[in-house]
Chain A
Amino acid sequence: MAERYELRFSGAGGQGLITAGIILAEAASIIEGRSAVQSQSYGPEARGGASKSEVIISDQPIDYPKATIVDACLAMTQEAADKYANGIKEGGLLLLDADFVQRAPQGNFKVYRLPIMRMAKEDIGREIVANVVALGAMIGLTGVVTKEAGEQAVLRKVPEAFKELNKKAYNMGYEKGKELIN
């Protein structure tokens, strides 16, 4: 693991991407015992609008809490891709929702696509778990935390009745993410 690894999750407000960031930060800092900082920026809207959540993970204490140059970025909507899929490192990676982002931002980084919303809706059966599918995919793609730490952090966060659903969503995202780089 590099000294400092920066991730950005972006999408529409209400899609749960801030929660996805929090879960990742918990996986790194509480479960794996490393340093993590999660931050966000959002507009005044409770739903809609573009929102982003950033997570910095390091084996050292973290000073600057925001992204400097992003290692891995997720964009769930076109607006989010236009607004937040920038500042990505050369050789870094960008994951896009295959249905909702038509125009990919240009840059010297790898672009991957997964129909995240569709997977949540059709394969898992609940659109609401799209953020967990996305989180799984990002962990599968980057290996920034272990598969187990990610799953544990997801399960800590959800009520008993939804544990199976979220576990399924996370694992599907993880496997699909992993397939993209294999």
Chain B
Amino acid sequence: MAKKVALLQGNQACAAGAVYAGCKFFGGYPITPSTEVAEELSISLPKVGGKFIQMEDEIGAMASVIGASLTGMKSLTATSGPGVSLKQELIGYACIAEVPCVIINVMRGGPSTGMPTGPGQSDVMQAMWGTHGDHAAIALVPSSVQEIFSETVRAFNLAEKYRMPVQVLFDEIVGHMRERIVFPEPGELEVIDREAPTDGPDTYKPYDSTKGQIPPLASFGSGYKFHVTGLNKADDGFPTTKASLVDAEERRQVDKVMDNVADIESNEEYLTEDAEVVIWAFGSTARSARYAVNELRKEGIKAGLFRPITLWPFPTKRTAELAVQCKAIVVAEMNLGQMIHEVERAAKGNCVVAGEFRVDGEPINPAQIMKKVKEVL
């Protein structure tokens, strides 16, 4: 049978991907340019036995997502930069309490309310360091409607597997543009469900590191009783200030990501094998970059594209290898230079690193990337 196809907005594909992944709860507060994610889920979640709640504000929305996840439901919120700023306290809470959840950020500019209807990529450092304290972060940056679907599914998988918040960031351009999507059949994409505890309610400890780097999370309402807090805690979930326990807990929740970078990482490369200059770009900007690569190749310039799909943890290893191989890396991003600092760190001075930035609400076009490439070569 032919697969189902449709012309869909990125935001609609995100909602469809969430349902495919088994999402059963959405708590949000509508904000441009992410509103269609909420709109779609308000229609589709009740049809699969899920719950949709429009909360009183962004903070309440994040709190509802954490609460719902603790009952065992795969949970989601969708917002834009201003909303992510408001959610930071609770994103940190989800990190330390180790509560799986997915946060969609359809990026516009900023700071503050910025330009609601324009695109931006200026929340990428916030995705890593927006909430205070040491923590690991996972952030995915799809660049097409089809990929928004599949990366939303992957975000749920990673959230459940690593027991933590996962952010999916795409800009207004990809969120609002329409492309053909081929819907994967059930079972075609991997869907990971939360690991159930092996201990019964009497002996269960929610942060028992003897069960591994990622201790299983029980669901409230299934007979298990346990304590959840934002304070540093012992394996039973109750607060502690004992140095050895705090140190072990802090390290474990960073190590669970950094020890598994190979599992979380995802990149796409285009014509990088013999590239003298590599354009380093993600999201909609990577589409401009790919166009630029093709045009530059026609002019005899050996250009290639490196496109991170997992932005955090940062693809340090591959970026470092490319820096050794090529003469220059051009980082193109719709902000005033954020990921370029990470690229410079990874490149260790082995090649020229130059940036092409834009923050006027217009996309970075192929011509400006081509111009920058020619300047640096």
Q: Using Cβ atoms and an 8 Å threshold, which residues of chain B touch A25?
A: 7, 178
B179 contacts A64, C-beta separation under 8 Å = no
A37 contacts B178, C-beta separation under 8 Å = yes
Kindly report which residue of chain B lies nearest to residue A30, judged by CB atoms: B7
- With A29-B7, A44-B116, A65-B287 already in contact, the answer to whether A39 and B365 are too (CB < 8 A) is no
A64 contacts B7, C-beta separation under 8 Å = no
Within the complex, the shortest CB–CB distance from B217 to chain A, in Å, comes to 39
Main secondary structure of the interface of A (DSSP, over half): mixed
Q: Using Cβ atoms and an 8 Å threshold, which residues of chain A touch B366?
A: 64, 68
Q: Using Cβ atoms and an 8 Å threshold, which residues of chain B touch A66?
A: 173, 363, 365
CA distance A23 to B6 in the complex (A): 12
B117 contacts A43, C-beta separation under 8 Å = yes
A26 contacts B7, C-beta separation under 8 Å = yes
Within the complex, the shortest CB–CB distance from B171 to chain A, in Å, comes to 11
CA distance A68 to B287 in the complex (A): 13
Please report which residues of chain B, range 347-376, place their CB below 8 angstroms from some CB of chain A when the two chains form the complex: 363, 365-367
Within the complex, the shortest CB–CB distance from A175 to chain B, in Å, comes to 26
User: Which of the residues B116, B174, B287 comes within 8 Å of A63, measured between beta carbons?
Assistant: B287
Residue pairs across A and B with CB atoms within 8 Å: the count is: 59
Kindly report which residue of chain B lies nearest to residue A66, judged by CB atoms: B363
CA distance A105 to B176 in the complex (A): 29
Within the complex, the shortest CB–CB distance from A78 to chain B, in Å, comes to 22
Chain B interface category by residue count: 20 to 34
Bitwise, A13-46 to B at CB < 8 A (1) or not (0) is: 0000000001001100110000111111111100
B178 contacts A41, C-beta separation under 8 Å = no
CA distance A36 to B179 in the complex (A): 6
Interface membership of B262, Cβ < 8 A:
no
Q: Using Cβ atoms and an 8 Å threshold, which residues of chain A touch B290?
A: 63-64
Kindly report which residue of chain A lies nearest to residue B5, judged by CB atoms: A30
A65 contacts B7, C-beta separation under 8 Å = no
Please report which residues of chain B, range 277-327, place their CB below 8 angstroms from some CB of chain A when the two chains form the complex: 284, 287-288, 290-291, 294
CA distance A39 to B362 in the complex (A): 13
Kindly report which residue of chain A lies nearest to residue B6, judged by CB atoms: A30
Q: Using Cβ atoms and an 8 Å threshold, which residues of chain B touch A64?
A: 287-288, 290-291, 365-366
Within the complex, the shortest CB–CB distance from A17 to chain B, in Å, comes to 14
CA distance A150 to B50 in the complex (A): 37
Within the complex, the shortest CB–CB distance from A153 to chain B, in Å, comes to 9
Within the complex, the shortest CB–CB distance from B116 to chain A, in Å, comes to 7
CA distance A26 to B6 in the complex (A): 8
CA distance A64 to B364 in the complex (A): 10
Interface membership of B189, Cβ < 8 A:
no
A38 contacts B6, C-beta separation under 8 Å = no
Kindly report which residue of chain A lies nearest to residue B284, judged by CB atoms: A65
Kindly name the residue among A26, A35, A37, A63 whose own CB sees the greatest number of chain B CB atoms within 10 A.
A63
Interface membership of B336, Cβ < 8 A:
no
A63 contacts B179, C-beta separation under 8 Å = no
Interface membership of B177, Cβ < 8 A:
yes
- With A29-B179, A30-B6, A40-B176 already in contact, the answer to whether A63 and B117 are too (CB < 8 A) is no
Kindly report which residue of chain A lies nearest to residue B288, judged by CB atoms: A64
CA distance A106 to B1 in the complex (A): 52
- With A22-B7, A29-B7, A64-B365 already in contact, the answer to whether A42 and B178 are too (CB < 8 A) is no
- With A25-B178, A44-B117 already in contact, the answer to whether A38 and B291 are too (CB < 8 A) is no
Q: Using Cβ atoms and an 8 Å threshold, which residues of chain A touch B177?
A: 37-40, 65
Interface membership of B225, Cβ < 8 A:
no
Q: Using Cβ atoms and an 8 Å threshold, which residues of chain B touch A44?
A: 116-117
CA distance A63 to B279 in the complex (A): 14
Q: Using Cβ atoms and an 8 Å threshold, which residues of chain A touch B367?
A: 68
A68 contacts B180, C-beta separation under 8 Å = no
Q: Using Cβ atoms and an 8 Å threshold, which residues of chain B touch A29?
A: 7, 179-180
Q: List 25 A-B contacts (CB under 8 A).
A: A22-B7, A22-B178, A26-B7, A29-B179, A29-B180, A30-B6, A30-B7, A36-B7, A36-B179, A36-B180, A38-B178, A38-B179, A39-B173, A39-B178, A42-B117, A43-B117, A63-B288, A63-B290, A64-B287, A64-B290, A64-B291, A65-B173, A65-B174, A66-B173, A66-B363
Q: Which residues of B contact A (CB under 8 A)?
A: 5-7, 116-117, 173-174, 176-180, 284, 287-288, 290-291, 294, 363, 365-367
Extra contacts, 6 of them, besides A22-B178, A39-B178, A68-B366 (Cβ < 8 A), are A29-B7, A30-B180, A39-B173, A63-B288, A63-B291, A65-B174
